[in-house]
Amino acid sequence: MEKLMKIDRRIIYIIGVCVVVFTMLYPIGLPVKISDLARQTYAAVENLPDGSLVIISPMYDAGAMGELHPMFTVFFYHAAKRGYKIVVVNTSWVQGPQLVHPIAEEIAKEFGLVYGEDWINLGSKPGGSVFLQAAVTDLWGAALTDYTNRPIASFPIMNRVPKITAEFVNACLVLDCGTPGAPTWLTYVNEPENIPLIVGEIQMSVPENMPYVASGQYKGMIAGSRGCAEYELLVGRPGKAIKAQDTMSSIALLITLFIVLGNIGYLTTKKK
């Protein structure tokens, strides 16, 4: 039993890698049941008034794109499908808007959306909470240019949103992997301005953000990769998150097995 306590971590890594690669190449097709939270999140986006303007904020860098790219895809796709005007902007996470731009362009092309009229990418703005607070009173002054450094006054869509208030913005869809993130938006924009906040969270941050859902401060939350897979089913566009579920379920099973074995080893050696 002592051997269980001394398994080389590299053996665990190799087994994990084998499971990931095998389930990726040979999908099992495990069923994905849609949770109430996913339905609530979907409804929060779906039930916005026709012609709404939404802000999608990819508050992440390359490190989190594995989980948050599929969430950006479903949010953008859903908003485009509903015919909402879309403003992509973030603060502090420099790479976010650059990373999501090709995805946005592809979906925009699919729906015939025109850049600058139906959607715009304002890029990443420095300042964190200071930028958000400034954008509440004057988005034009705070953002200055779009993703390609053109003055935002030259884009018709910006006439609809001079500042981020409930009068001009119907909802903020924030993809969050750290600080500043969704709670920052909540504190400086959504709570003071009473704008609905709907978030996408990496798996790791789900527990700490659940209280915001329970309190109604988040109108919905895509909870990790699994939540995104459910949202993909609801929106009718199966993507990367659905494909990942076989692997994630197998890995969860494997980790559980290792935890059980580790505890058996621990308890047995403790008795001795």
Partner 1 sequence: MNLSTNPGIWAQAICILAVYTYLYKDNPIWRFAETTYLGLATAYWFVFYFHNYIVVFVKDNVMQNGEWHYILAIILGLMIFFRYVPSLAWLARYPMSFWVGFGTGYVLGFAPAVWLTQVRTSFIALNSVENVLIVIGILATLTYFFFTIAKENPVVGGIAEVGKWYIMIALGSAFGNTVLYRWNLFLSRANTIIVDWLGVTP
Q: Which token pair is 208?
A: 């700490």
Structure token pair of residue 264: 């058996």
Mark 90-129 with x for binding to partner 1 (rule: CB under 8 A) and - for no binding.
Answer: ----x----------------------------xxxx--x
Query: Which of residues 52 and 187 has its CB atom nearest to partner 1 in the complex?
Result: 187
27 touches partner 1 by CB under 8 A = yes
Candidate list 52, 81, 103, 145; residue touching partner 1; CB under 8 A: 145
Candidates 34-42, 61-69, 103-111, 156-164 — which segment interacts with partner 1 by CB under 8 A?
61-69
Q: Looking at 1, 13, 47, 154, which residue binds partner 1 (CB under 8 A)? A: 13
CB atoms within 10 A of CB 141: 12
Q: How far is Cα 71 from Cα 202, in angstroms, rounded to an integer? A: 10
Q: How far is it, in rounded angstroms, from Cα 144 to Cα 172?
A: 20
Residue 66 near partner 1 by CB under 8 A: yes
Task: For residue 106, give Cα distances in angstroms to 72, 100, 162, 212.
Answer: 12, 10, 27, 32
Total binding residues for partner 1 by CB under 8 A?
55
Q: Give least dist CB 145 to partner 1, A.
A: 7
Q: For partner 1, give the closer residue by CB, 53 or 59.
A: 59
- Smaller CB separation from partner 1, 16 or 52: 16
Binds partner 1 by CB under 8 A, chosen from 1, 5, 21, 114: 21
Q: Which runs of E-coded beta strand occur in the chain?
A: 53-59, 85-91, 119-125, 171-176, 197-201, 220-223
Query: Contact between 11 and partner 1 (CB under 8 A)?
Result: no
Positive or negative, the Cα torsion across 97, 99, 100, 105? positive
Around Cβ 14, how many Cβ atoms within 10 Å? 11
Whether 72 contacts 239, CB under 8 Å = no
Q: Which is nearer to partner 1, 4 or 130 (CB)?
A: 130
CB proximity list for 166: less than 8 A, separation 6 or greater: 193, 194, 195
Q: How far is the CB of 84 from partner 1 (least distance, A)?
A: 26
Stretch that binds partner 1, among 12-20, 102-110, 111-119, 153-161 (CB under 8 A): 12-20
The binding track of 205-224 with respect to partner 1, each residue x by CB under 8 A or -, is: xxxx--xx-xxxx------x
Q: Is 251 in the site for partner 1 (CB under 8 A)?
A: yes
Asked if residue 128 lies in contact with residue 180, where contact means CB atoms within 8 angstroms, the answer is yes
Q: Which of 252, 227, 121 is nearest to 176 (CA)?
A: 227
List interacting residues with partner 1 (CB under 8 A). Answer: 10, 13, 16-17, 20-21, 24-27, 63-67, 94, 123-126, 129-130, 133, 144-145, 149, 183, 186-188, 191-192, 202-208, 211-212, 214-217, 224-225, 240, 243-244, 247-248, 251-252, 255
